[in-house]
Structure 1
């Protein structure tokens, strides 16, 4: 059975599919100005589509994903998903907390990646609130039980998507626990500002990042140690650079990751309020995107492992460099690094993470 329900002037709630156990997956479309529209599905609290106008006012969907639900369940690719309980990698899937060693699921070789085999991107979230006042917004909730994927504590997580007046949206994460644990949530959007129907890669997109340092990694993509300066390396995006300009220059770090898949250490570390972290421009369409966040790190991924094996929207095969990801988060492997910002969450505390995505045209 399918349905479409208009919740308010700018919110549409509709059926999107079913899980094997019969549970319903819903999609909510939040509409803004000039054709801007953000669509979120309850499976993985995932951004399924994002329509953004170009310089002529023509809107296009600028995020990779699928047109219907079945491929999201059949093929885990993180397209637009909410990532948790711990985004990025934990070395050997193991960490110490209060003198006790916890073993979480290793699903990326010997390491744990994006919460394990069935992270938050593989869970059905519930719609907790929909509101059109003062702006189109939805809040989703998920309760992760104690021991899920090996993580300690029952974690109550929420994510709120809100469409902003200046053509964009915010993502606000919150989480609380009943025992000490580690938390690192993020949004894993795969962006292509040309539009996913344009059949273009992102190598000509110009990227600016507010980062003086990055974290070099080993062959399993675990940080080797502390931050290293970006100056004199292909990781220097302090001035706008084409994503593809230095992608094949032979730098050892680019070889290890088959491109960019690194944490950039944002200026100022974790901040009280979101500040500009990155800006991306696609000159041909005129679409630009600015990312503001309060997080200390930004994982930049150049779509290295997109291999054309899974059809996406309109049957398009996504291949290497068909999208870029900018994932605001804590630094990878922080549970094992006393010199990194803490990712510990204790009972009575609230984990918070706020990011804004603002779109403009030139």
Structure 2
């Protein structure tokens, strides 16, 4: 790989892109981050971090800061949509940490982003929307929409579902619309019944469901409310809805849901898309990471965690002795492709399971929840470093 450190251009300053930049700097690479946004703003949304993702953050030295900014969720509970009755619960907290090798955390996206910005040695270059990539045997050139260009040894596309870098790697493909949208918001904890003991909370009902959990040490309650909606096709972190629309969509639901939605001041709303799994992620100088490689619906809570796992593998192979750049990118892709594909497909199926009408199918689903911890162990207990170690 040569005696001088690789110069790596990361396109996208989200969670995957910044975590990659931090990990690659730790390996001694020169890293620049570019983002199309004109400013970095704290999006009002929460992120669920599982043990599989926190393990990587710990390895990068980010664990203490992430834990300090997050809420360690003490339990998981599933509630009936109308009565609010709990039909399944299981401890998390210490139990989860011991079982899966790290905590299950709820964290505000803005808080997570700040932790990463503080750890990155440098600043993302904003207002730089990638328009094209050109490769040569010696490197790659990123061309931006403003006409400027940068040279790099490796380009990492961490630019999300509608990635420009993905188009360079794989050619054109279209996002797959789920015919579902979600309302997202944050509510002061004192305005949500039961917030003081709340963990990871599911409210399941016919045709729609909510996922609710505390962030910022329990100060705020984050909710994501999923509804069928083939008409709402706008996929944007900044798109808004009227709170009254969220209230109306869950008319007749239990008091916790109605109270929470009635007290939210600002509601984000966006359509849910993913893409079909890719056959290839990389060229000789360019690769993809996170949503650019494997965008997934949020019904497994693994989008950020899978991007973070990607980071560990990519940094490992790019810094491995004796590997040419193209070979490192291929090994990264080979390690990550099957796992992320399986989680992508599972995420698609979970929504229907969460939104069954009352009756025998819902009763059967509820009975199966007794095996939930074992069924998700392959996701949450996964140790990417163990996989990398086995290859040696």
TM class, shorter-length: under 0.3
TM-score by length of 1: 0.28
TM value normalised by structure 2:
0.26
Greater strand proportion: 1
The answer to which structure has the higher helix fraction is 2
Larger Rg computed on CA atoms:
2
